[in-house]
């Protein structure tokens, strides 16, 4: 469980990026943090494994104040995957890259080998096992970065912009994979601008703007609230837009799911035809 | 990585900022020369103390202190090495101080000279434009690089890398996961920059004109005069009177 208590964070240059963020993420929850560029999303998630310590307020992860434990200790439980894979890839081969974290956490060779196999399979990159990560495509590098963190099986997985540069197929795989992690009882936090992806996954949505929490609730509720979305510079999901255009939403319906939408439309058409 | 902040230019209106960059460079070279000419603790301390009013005048004391703090470890290293190999406490102290003087003078120079002025100064000193462009670009990239280094450190620490602790060999090895992504990204970025410049016709026109031109003013002449006098005086004291 991650709790932030009235967290303020000021960068060394004096810029206040977080202004009183209080948030509780329960164990096993699936949360999407959304908000405009510069809202403070990355700054916030860097507090989850202690990389950043709040200037004011506190962050507590599974009962431990992040100010009192090392980043390495916290990272064992909170796996943070950064936005840009190029900020972490350095090994000669993909398999070494994945083994890096495992070595740091002191797993034995046998376990490392097993975990590397597992992580390679997990994200469909087994064929690149002995390839240099630097010659892979952007989307592939992103998956290497992801598997290099998932390899040590952290209890909480935090992903910064996981869908960037992924084609439709990979995105769908990623979605299934995240859902699977979540059903296995892992806490999953994603930071994303990808509204359709969120509409497909339907996590709890935390909306941020200018260093503050703007709203917090189910994706159905948040992603159909046009005022909120505009404030956070988010385009509503296409299904919600379609229903607004059709003036369907006046019944208080909060629909973002394509299948649900199709059902309602089909029913409506059937009724009108009769 | 915050140590690089000790070199980043801040726009301010002080007499030091207004000095012609060429004259300022001369000033830094003079300080540099002075700290090399003298080897005794007393003189180097005086040179060091003489920098303080400069720093205060330029209003960069915060950044200066930060760059001092950042170089403290290296200064301590120099001190210990000299102490071991020369086994003269005063000499070792002087050497450490000399290092701090050199760091300070560079720090003052870069903190008070805008990259644009620097480029102009190079151009007006008849360096080829490609050269001055590369130079100013390099300086401009420093803060970007520092920011990026911080992100890389964060990313690797999130993967369990511990930078502190361990023996020297392990400490150096710890920096490999930081340096490789940093270098790769710097190279990638410079390739991109080159492409972007070429698509905007860099170098198509040979004759360039500048909107602003640097002019040496009376204040600058005064500083040049002072530099010459102090340097001449110091050389005289050090080599002819053998006072020290
Ligand atoms: N190292 C830094 N020093 C100073 N200010 C910073 C630094 N890093 C980020 N900021 C500022 O803090 C604010 C929040 O940044 P953050 O990276 O958390 O935004 P974000 O919500 O992740 O945005 P994006 O969607 O673009 O990734 C921004 O205004 C940014 O300019
Ligand atoms: Mg971000």
Query: Residue ranges of the alpha helices (H) in chain A?
Result: 41-45, 71-77, 94-104, 109-122, 138-150, 168-183, 195-201, 219-222, 226-231, 238-245, 258-273
Contacting A with CB below 8 Å, chain B residues are 2, 5, 148, 151-152, 154-162, 176-177, 180-181, 184-185, 188
> Which of B5, B146, B155, B186 is the best mutation test for A, with the most CBs of A within 10 A?
B155
Give the distance from residue A42's alpha carbon to the nearest chain B alpha carbon, in angstroms.
11
What is the distance between the alpha carbons of residues A68 and A60, in angstroms, rounded to a whole number? 10
User: What's the CA gap between B93 and B90, in Å, rounded?
Assistant: 5
- Asked if residue A40 lies in contact with residue A211, where contact means CB atoms within 8 angstroms, the answer is yes
- CA-nearest of B86, B147, B111 to B8 is B111
pTM higher than 0.95: no
Nearest-CA neighbor of B21 among B98, B101, B137, B132?
B132
Quick one: A211 exposed, middle or buried, by C-beta within 10 A (0-12, 13-18, 19+)? buried
Give pLDDT tens digits along chain B (244 positions). 455 555 677 788 888 888 999 999 999 999 999 998 888 888 999 999 999 999 999 998 888 898 888 888 899 999 999 998 988 889 999 999 999 999 999 889 988 988 888 888 888 888 888 888 888 888 888 888 888 999 999 999 999 998 877 777 787 888 899 999 999 999 988 999 999 999 998 888 777 778 888 888 899 999 999 999 999 999 888 888 765 5
Alpha-carbon torsion, ordered A73, A79, A84, A88, to 10 deg: 50
Q: Which of A104, A154, A157 to mutate to test the interface with B (most CBs of B within 10 A)?
A: A104
The ranges assigned to domains in chain B are: 1-113+214-244, 128-211
d(CA A228, CA A238): 16
ipTM value: 0.89
Please give the DSSP secondary-structure letter assigned to residue B158: T
């Amino acid at each position: 469980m991650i709790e932030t208590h009235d967290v303020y964070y000021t960068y060394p240059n004096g810029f206040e990026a977080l202004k009183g963020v209080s948030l509780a993420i329960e164990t096993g929850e699936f949360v999407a943090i959304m908000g405009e560029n510069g809202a403070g999303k990355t700054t916030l998630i860097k507090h989850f494994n202690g990389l950043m310590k709040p200037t004011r307020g506190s962050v507590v992860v599974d009962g431990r104040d992040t100010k009192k434990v090392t980043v390495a200790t916290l990272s064992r439980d909170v796996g943070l995957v950064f936005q840009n894979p190029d900020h972490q890839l350095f090994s000669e081969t993909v398999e070494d890259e994945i083994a890096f974290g495992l070595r740091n956490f002191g797993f034995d060779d046998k376990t490392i080998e097993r975990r590397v196999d597992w992580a390679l399979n997990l994200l469909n990159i087994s064929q690149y096992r002995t390839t240099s990560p630097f010659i892979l495509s952007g989307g592939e590098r992103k998956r290497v970065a992801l598997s290099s963190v998932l390899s040590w099986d952290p209890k909480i997985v935090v992903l910064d912009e996981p869908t960037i540069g992924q084609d439709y197929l990979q995105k769908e795989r990623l979605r299934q994979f995240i859902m699977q992690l979540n059903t296995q009882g892992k806490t999953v936090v994603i930071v994303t601008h990808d509204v359709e992806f969120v509409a497909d996954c339907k996590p709890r949505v935390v909306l941020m703007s200018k260093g503050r929490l703007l709203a917090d609730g189910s994706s159905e509720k948040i992603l159909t609230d046009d005022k909120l979305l505009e404030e956070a510079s988010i385009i509503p999901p296409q299904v919600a837009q379609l229903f607004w255009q059709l003036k369907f939403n006046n019944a208080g319906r909060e629909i973002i799911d394509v299948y649900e939408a199709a059902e309602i439309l089909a029913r409506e058409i059937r009724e009108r035809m009769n | 990585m915050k140590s690089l902040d000790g070199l980043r230019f801040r726009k301010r209106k002080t007499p030091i900022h207004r000095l012609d960059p060429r004259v300022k460079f001369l000033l830094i070279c003079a300080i540099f020369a002075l700290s090399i000419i003298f080897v005794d603790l007393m003189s180097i301390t005086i040179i060091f103390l003489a920098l303080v009013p400069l720093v205060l005048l330029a209003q960069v004391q915060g950044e200066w202190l930060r760059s001092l703090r950042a170089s403290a470890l290296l200064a301590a290293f120099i001190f210990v090495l000299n102490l071991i190999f020369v086994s003269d406490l005063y000499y070792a102290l002087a050497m450490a101080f000399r290092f701090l003087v050199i760091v300070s003078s560079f720090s003052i120079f870069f903190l008070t000279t805008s990259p644009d002025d620097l480029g102009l100064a190079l151009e007006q000193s008849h360096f080829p434009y490609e050269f001055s462009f590369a130079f100013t670009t390099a300086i401009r990239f420093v803060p970007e690089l520092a920011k990026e280094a911080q992100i890389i450190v964060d990313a690797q620490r999130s993967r369990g890398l511990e930078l502190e602790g361990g023996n020297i060999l392990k400490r150096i090895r710890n920096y490999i996961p930081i340096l490789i992504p940093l270098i790769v990204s710097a190279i990638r970025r410079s390739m991109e920059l080159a492409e972007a410049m070429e698509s905007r016709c860099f170098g198509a026109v040979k004759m360039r004109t500048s909107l602003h031109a640097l002019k040496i003013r009376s204040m600058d002449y005064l500083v040049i005069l002072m530099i010459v006098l102090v340097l001449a005086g110091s050389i005289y004291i050090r080599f002819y009177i053998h006072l020290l």
